[in-house]
Amino acid sequence: MIRIAGVTLDGQKQIRFALSLIKGVGKSNVKDILVELKLKPEIKLDDLSEKEVAEIRSYVENNLIIEADLRRQNLSNIKRLTDIGTWRGKRHKLHLPVRGQRTKTNSRTARGNKRNTAGSGKNKAAGKT
């Protein structure tokens, strides 16, 4: 078990898959890291030396925005949009789709999963007399 950027990574996985479990590190970032540090993507994390792990750790922490910093940056971007009153900010505030998706039939999770049927508005039948 190797810990990088506050994330515990499985040592049995190949380095190219294990590093992508860190929030903010995707496939292209993993390729850049491996090219920069001259590592093969098929190597398992357990096979790396302590020096190589330290190099990976320092590269990730110094060159990428990851984990909590990335979450904080995303939240501040959304807050900025809502504060200046943009269309996207208003959509975020109302918990509706932001990027032009239709809302008539889709976006159930955003609008709430309320599906009204034809008989849902009828009054209940009177009981036995």
Condensed to tens digits (0 to 9), the pLDDT of residues 35-54 reads: 999 999 999 999 999 999 99
Q: Position of tokens 């918990």?
A: 95
Which residues are bridge partners to 4 per DSSP? 7
Say whether both 22 and 54 belong to one domain: yes
- Tell me which residue range forms the domain holding 6: 2-64
Domain assignment of residue 109, yes or no:
no
CB 36 within 8 A of CB 19: no
pTM for the predicted model, two decimal places: 0.72
- Rounded-to-integer distance, Cα 45 and Cα 60, Å: 15
Mean pLDDT of 48-77: 94
- Rounded-to-integer distance, Cα 21 and Cα 19, Å: 5
Say whether both 8 and 55 belong to one domain: yes
Q: Which of 74-78, 80-84, 97-101 has the lowest mean pLDDT?
A: 97-101
pLDDT at position 119 is 65
CB 1 within 8 A of CB 29: no
Last residue of some domain: 15, 44, 64?
A: 64
Q: How many domains does the chain have?
A: 2
Q: For residue 96, what is the DSSP state?
A: -
- Rounded-to-integer distance, Cα 109 and Cα 126, Å: 36
CB 107 within 8 A of CB 97: yes
